[in-house]
Structure formats: structure tokens, C-alpha cells
Amino acid sequence: MPEKKRPFGVTLLLWMVLTLTAWGAVRFVAALRWWDVLNEFDANLSPLYLSITGAGWGVAGGVLLSGILRRRTWALPAVVTSILLWLIEYWIERIFFQSDRANLPFALMSSILVVAITWILATLPRTKYFFAKSEEHEQPVEEPKVEEPTPATEAAATEEKTATKKKK
């Protein structure tokens, strides 16, 4: 059976994750490459912190990419969570460790826009359906059917218990 085309919303989420992954990888490599310079000028964020967070985002992005491409059910909430965590990290670093900049309104509006786009894409029906089943052979989750006991089934259960006791 030919594989269904990936919905546009999933493709946009995929690009967001690719951007997050590339950012993490660049941050990791840059921290390693400029380690001595960052230490020499006593940067607010240590090269160790920058390299660890960069590597962490690179690995997290790789896992998320794999989950999206393999249509894992956990991928959609994980993508939304990771984008929100990345923005929280960005704002913590910006507020507490970086010098003031004039582009605060732009950064704030960009963050709000990223959250809005992520939320809209994650709630689209086609996006949700794409992640509903990760494999063709998997069946959708259904509630188990619980039958109410009837007098006939209760009598049969009692007879079965009695027969079991007699065998012992």
C-alpha cells in the first residue's frame, strides 16, 4: 500500500523541529570552537552550559525528527512541549544572562507567533490523524466492552467455582 502524503501541518512542524535541531547543533559546535574566547572574556553563559544545551537540543531534535517520520503517537505532544521549553529557555537566558537589547517587541511578538503557529498546527484534525496510528497494522485504541452480569452468567460462574472446588 503506498504511503499517504504527509499533511502540510506536519511538514511545518517538521521544519520547526529541523530548525530547533540545527540551532542546537550550531550552538554546540560554536561553544566548542570558541571555548577559549568565551572563557577569556568571561561570558555570562559558560561554554560548558552552551555546549551541553546545544548538544541536548541537537539530540532532542533528532529524536523528535525520528518520531515524526515514523509517525509515533508521542511525537506530536513532544514537539509542542519541546518548542515551548525552547522558548522558555530562550527567555530565561535573555532576561537573566544577556544585556538589554532594543528588539524586545520583535522578540516578544515572534515568540507569541511561534506558540500560536505550533498550537494551531498541533490541533489541526489532519495533523492529529497523521499521528493517531504509527503503524498500519496497529488498531485504534478502543474502550474495552464490559458486560453486565445476568442471572444466567452468574449461575454459570457459580457452577464453575463449585466444580473447581470439587476437583481439589
Residue in this structure with the C-alpha cell 517520520, named with its chain if needed: 69
pLDDT at 159: 73
Q: How confident is the model at residue 72 (pLDDT cuts 50, 70, 90)?
A: very high
Q: Minimal CA–CA distance to 125: which of 12, 16, 8?
A: 8
Q: How confident is the model at residue 1 (pLDDT cuts 50, 70, 90)?
A: very low
pLDDT at 133: 66
Q: Minimal CA–CA distance to 99: which of 23, 154, 44?
A: 44
Q: 35 Cβ partners below 8 Å, 6+ apart?
A: 47, 51
Domain ranges of the chain: 8-136
**Model pTM score:** 0.73
pLDDT at 98: 86
| 13 close to 68: Cβ distance less than 8 angstroms | yes
The answer, yes or no, to whether residue 4 has pLDDT greater than 80, is no
Query: What would the grid cell of residue 155 be?
Result: 449461575
The answer, yes or no, to whether residue 53 has pLDDT greater than 90, is yes
- What is the average pLDDT score of the chain? 87
The answer, yes or no, to whether residue 168 has pLDDT greater than 50, is yes
Average pLDDT of the residues in 24-47: 95
Instruction: Sort residue 91 into left (φ over 0), alpha (ψ -120 to 50) or beta.
Output: alpha
Percent of the chain with pLDDT over 70: 78
